């Protein structure tokens, strides 16, 4: 990003205060306060932020939570950092946003073929370094680790993995997780997913992936790794979704004024798996984005019959939501 001359004067706009009685960590509060300034336009695109130490001094906190909040905003695409120049509000990009919307299970159900979800694991585990960093949690904090396989016409087509903070969703490990995770979070906890940071790349199936998806080891799979935030700007889900590359086609629709819409839909079985480098995208919308496998119903291509393969095992009690 190349800021204009008028943006090189550091912004004096600062968050109002830190709520020291709040259970939210300081870095999450600072993230939300700065995000509100950006979304409201009080911090305009191209505008330079003051130095981190000035934010820390005015808020009465140490440098660490300020730095963590600014790094998260940078990672989520709201800020850009230039060595030797400072941190700026990111300019609006046209034609680069990829939006992954709507319900994964509803999209599969719309094909008219039988849909089922099998739960492989739903357990409370300590957050790894990667999960903790993605969700802004201490390493070792309790998270719900959820692994599921989605079946279309008795064929496993998607392997879904998600980690969510147990502290934000009490009782979730004991809930019925065979349906739409996002619907459950909205109905039970009032949580609405509104933005996601997605990394999209082609990977090779490891033995554990191959077994669950019934593909050869080394088969090309499309992987989408996401950090999803709720309506408050809190990171609430870290997910990895592996798609059978020859069963899904992802359409990209470009609109100069609204960015890019990214719409996955079932692809003909005979199509070769894609071979593309990793792509990082930022999604922001009032509609829930990609959870542990949510894809758009827009611009769907009518699905073809599934490939001939051994039928997947019967799934007791796993009906499509």
For range 201-228, the mean pLDDT: 90
Domain coordinates of the chain in residue numbers?
Answer: 5-89, 98-284
Report angle CA 148, 154, 155 to the nearest 5 degrees. 70
Alpha-carbon Rg for the chain, nearest whole angstrom, is 21
What pLDDT, on the 0 to 100 scale, is given for residue 7? 47
What pLDDT, on the 0 to 100 scale, is given for residue 119? 93
Q: Kindly report the backbone phi and psi dihedral angles of residue 182, in degrees, each rounded to the nearest multiple of 5, phi listed first.
A: -65, -40
Residue whose C-alpha is closest to residue 198's, from 222, 214, 174, 234? 222
Mean pLDDT lowest among 11-15, 254-258, 290-294: 290-294
Q: Locate 47 and state its tokens.
A: 């505008």
Contact (Cβ atoms closer than 8 angstroms) between residue 166 and residue 142 = yes
What pLDDT, on the 0 to 100 scale, is given for residue 94? 29
What pLDDT, on the 0 to 100 scale, is given for residue 13? 59
SS3 content of the chain, % helix, strand, coil (to 5): 20, 30, 45
Instruction: Map tokens 């934000």 to a residue.
Output: 168
pLDDT at 263 over 90: no
User: Which position has the higher pLDDT, 200 or 111?
Assistant: 200
Contact (Cβ atoms closer than 8 angstroms) between residue 219 and residue 138 = no
What gap in Å lies between CA 72 and CA 234, rounded to an integer? 11
For range 208-228, the mean pLDDT: 90
Contact (Cβ atoms closer than 8 angstroms) between residue 123 and residue 113 = no
What confidence category does residue 278 fall into, taking pLDDT thresholds of 50, 70 and 90?
A: low
Mean pLDDT lowest among 91-95, 220-224, 238-242: 91-95
CATH 3.40.1410.10 fits 98-284, yes or no: yes
What gap in Å lies between CA 150 and CA 243, rounded to an integer? 10
CATH of domain 5-89: 1.10.10.10
What confidence category does residue 221 fall into, taking pLDDT thresholds of 50, 70 and 90?
A: very high
| Kind of pairing between the strands at 259-266 and 98-99 | parallel
What pLDDT, on the 0 to 100 scale, is given for residue 137? 93
What pLDDT, on the 0 to 100 scale, is given for residue 280? 54
pLDDT digit string, tens, across residues 115-163: 888 999 999 999 999 999 999 999 999 999 999 999 887 889 899 999 9
Report angle CA 186, 191, 193 to the nearest 5 degrees. 95
Q: Kindly tell me the sign of the dihedral angle through the C-alpha atoms of 25, 27, 31, 37.
A: positive
pLDDT at 271 over 70: no
218-222, 249-253, 288-292, 296-300 — most confident range: 218-222
What gap in Å lies between CA 278 and CA 201, rounded to an integer? 4
| Kind of pairing between the strands at 155-165 and 193-204 | unpaired
State the average pLDDT for the chain.
74
Q: Which ranges in the chain belong to alpha helices (H)?
A: 26-40, 52-59, 63-75, 104-109, 129-135, 181-189, 207-213
pLDDT at 317 over 50: no
Contact (Cβ atoms closer than 8 angstroms) between residue 214 and residue 151 = no
Q: Locate 196 and state its tokens.
A: 């996601």
pLDDT digit string, tens, across residues 57-88: 888 899 999 999 999 888 877 888 877 788 98
pLDDT at 313 over 70: no
DSSP letters, 65-133, are: HHHHHHHHHHHTTSEEEETTTEEEEPPPPSS--EE-BS-HHHHHHTTTS-EEEEEEEEEEEEPPHHHHH
Q: Which residues, 6+ apart, have CB-to-CB distance to 57 below 8 Å?
A: none
pLDDT at 264 over 70: no
User: Which position has the higher pLDDT, 273 or 253?
Assistant: 253
């Amino acid at each position: 990003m190349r800021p204009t001359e008028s943006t090189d004067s550091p912004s004096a706009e600062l968050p109002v205060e830190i709520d020291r009685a709040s259970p939210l960590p300081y870095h999450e509060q600072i993230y939300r306060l700065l995000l509100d300034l950006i979304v409201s336009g009080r911090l305009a695109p191209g505008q330079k932020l003051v130095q981190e130490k000035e934010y820390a001094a005015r808020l009465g906190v140490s440098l660490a939570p300020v730095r963590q909040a600014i790094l998260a905003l940078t990672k989520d695409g709201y800020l850009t950092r230039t060595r030797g120049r400072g941190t700026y509000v990111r300019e609006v990009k046209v034609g680069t946003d990829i939006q992954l919307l709507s319900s994964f299970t509803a999209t599969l159900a719309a094909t008219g073929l039988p849909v089922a979800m099998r739960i492989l694991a739903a357990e409370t585990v300590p957050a790894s370094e990667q999960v903790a960093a993605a969700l802004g949690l201490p390493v070792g904090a309790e998270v719900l680790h959820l692994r599921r396989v989605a079946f279309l016409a008795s064929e496993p087509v998607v392997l879904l993995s998600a980690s969510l903070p147990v502290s934000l969703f009490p009782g979730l490990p004991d809930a019925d997780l065979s349906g739409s995770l996002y619907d459950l979070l909205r109905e039970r906890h009032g949580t609405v997913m509104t933005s996601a940071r997605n990394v999209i790349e082609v990977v090779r199936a490891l033995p554990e992936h191959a077994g669950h998806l019934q593909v050869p080891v080394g088969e090309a799979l499309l992987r989408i790794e996401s950090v999803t935030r709720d309506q408050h700007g809190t990171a609430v889900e870290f997910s990895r979704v592996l798609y059978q590359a020859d069963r899904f086609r992802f359409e990209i629709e470009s609109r100069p004024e609204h960015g890019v819409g990214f719409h996955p839909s079932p692809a003909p079985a005979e199509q070769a798996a894609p071979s593309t480098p990793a792509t990082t995208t930022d999604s922001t919308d009032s509609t829930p984005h990609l959870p542990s496998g949510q894809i758009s119903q827009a611009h769907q291509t009518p699905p073809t019959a599934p490939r001939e393969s051994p039928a997947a095992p019967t799934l007791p009690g796993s009906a499509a939501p």
